[in-house]
Amino acid sequence: MQKSLPRTALRAGIASMAVASLAACGTSSSDSGSEALESLGDTEGSVSILAWPGYVEDGTNDPAVDWVSSFEEATGCMVEAKTYGTSDEAYQLMQSGGYDVVAASGDLTLRLVAADLVSPVNTDLLESYEGIFGFLKDKEWNSVDGVAYGVPHGYGANLLMFNTEEVSPAPTSWDVVFDKASDYDGKVTAYDSPIYIADAAVYLMTHSPELGIENPYALDEDQFAAAVELLKTQKESVGEYWSDYLKEIQAFESGDSVVGTTWQVIQNSISTGTTDVVLPEEGATGWSDTWMIASETEAPNCAYAWLDHIASPEINATATAYFGEAPSSEAACDFRDDCEAYHAGDEEYASQIWYWTTPVSDCVDGREDVECVDYSEWTKAWQEIKG
């Protein structure tokens, strides 16, 4: 056969193409600091929202649960929502772009700010901001140097869920998933995220006081090693880890999981009636969430409109009640009858929940003499725990 197209030419072409595209990979993103909006204009017609499950309900899951339609009618902004299972997943989605608004927990917010993925929020443009509890404003997880990066949404604790038929008497301690986990061999579940290491640390605060853990997100080498060891023992009894809340609902309904960490919204969604939840005596980790606006948003006016809508007392009450968390304002309690159960506005109680925070090497409990284990080490340890 006659040789066409000299081979060397072809190879050279492919090689140069490869070089060109590699060079293109090298260009880094711009590092311009984003600014808060000065004033509002006309809405853009659509807004894309990234949030925890149960935060953006338009009636598809339950016709009675809908706070999106009223927003769409009032503002003309059509909502497109996506849910996520872990803060890490949300971070990755925010990096890929395409979302205007994000509901972020405390272990995500500062990472978003540091990566310039969200912009400061001009709270003067939001009517609902004034009524929000003072102890939720200007916190280290939603503000930087006094500049607000979002609007508080609600807060709550990670609860212990158990199958009422298999686990009796009803547990009052996390020991059913740690020291006594082998009683439920293969049917224990745990949250599949490095931040779950903090749950083990909360348990150790009570049960191994000699470790001297003051804050589950500020662990030095020894404390961290003890928490990891506890989780490695727990792993032997774990049936599966969950990050997809639908997977956990299904596992508890089928009886494949009988005890483990959960959210109130999961309990609300389980239809078999064989499960219950409890806030164990050791206390718990929890979340305090913030609505933030993406720095690259193309719909800033719709984004501000959403922040205002979701923070307004009635909507905030409906949304936080559905998820099973305390609302962000006193006025919201007028629309809920269970505010006391969630200790809404009770500063004392709120301070006992260990809100998710990104662990950094400067210990967040204020210790100066040791260096704490940072989040990248947490993620590595989490993979090791799972083996």
Based on the shown chain and the rule CB under 8 A, indicate whether residue 4 belongs to the binding site for another protein. Answer: yes
Based on the shown chain and the rule CB under 8 A, indicate whether residue 14 belongs to the binding site for another protein. Answer: yes
Based on the shown chain and the rule CB under 8 A, indicate whether residue 178 belongs to the binding site for another protein. Answer: no
Based on the shown chain and the rule CB under 8 A, indicate whether residue 124 belongs to the binding site for another protein. Answer: no
The 78-97 site mask, x for binding another protein (CB under 8 A), equals: --------x-xx-xx--x--
Please check whether residue 292 is in contact with residue 149, taking contact to mean a CB–CB distance below 8 angstroms. yes
Please check whether residue 219 is in contact with residue 195, taking contact to mean a CB–CB distance below 8 angstroms. no
Based on the shown chain and the rule CB under 8 A, indicate whether residue 153 belongs to the binding site for another protein. Answer: no
Task: State both tokens at 308.
Answer: 């205002």
Q: Which one, 37 or 110, has the nearer CB to another protein?
A: 110
CA 234 to each of CA 34, 128, 184, 239, 257: distance values in angstroms, whole numbers, following the listed order? 44, 44, 11, 10, 14
Question: What is the number of residues in the chain?
Answer: 387
CA 267 to each of CA 87, 177, 344: distance values in angstroms, whole numbers, following the listed order? 21, 18, 20
Least separation, in Å, of the C-beta of 213 and another protein?
23
Contacting residue, 53, 107, 111, 205, with another protein by CB under 8 A: 111
Based on the shown chain and the rule CB under 8 A, indicate whether residue 25 belongs to the binding site for another protein. Answer: yes
Least separation, in Å, of the C-beta of 20 and another protein?
9
Relative orientation angle of helices 197-207 and 375-386, to the nearest 10 degrees? 90
Q: Alpha helix (H) ranges present in the chain?
A: 7-26, 69-75, 87-96, 106-114, 197-207, 221-235, 245-254, 264-269, 300-311, 313-323, 347-350, 375-386
Please check whether residue 153 is in contact with residue 310, taking contact to mean a CB–CB distance below 8 angstroms. yes
Q: Considering only the stretches 1-9, 33-41, 147-155, 314-322, report the one whose residues sit in contact with another protein under the rule CB under 8 A.
A: 1-9
* Tokens 């709120």 sit on residue: 350
Please check whether residue 104 is in contact with residue 52, taking contact to mean a CB–CB distance below 8 angstroms. no
Based on the shown chain and the rule CB under 8 A, indicate whether residue 180 belongs to the binding site for another protein. Answer: no
Q: Which one, 28 or 32, has the nearer CB to another protein?
A: 28
The 223-262 site mask, x for binding another protein (CB under 8 A), equals: ------------x--xxxx-----x--x---xxx------
Q: Is 4 helix (H, G, I), strand (E, B) or coil?
A: coil
Contacting residue, 60, 97, 164, 380, with another protein by CB under 8 A: 380
User: Which residues make up the interface to another protein (CB under 8 A)?
Assistant: 2, 4-5, 10, 13-14, 17-18, 21-22, 25-26, 28-29, 86, 88-89, 91-92, 95, 110-111, 114-115, 186, 193-194, 235, 238-241, 247, 250, 254-256, 358, 360, 374-376, 379-380, 382-384, 386-387
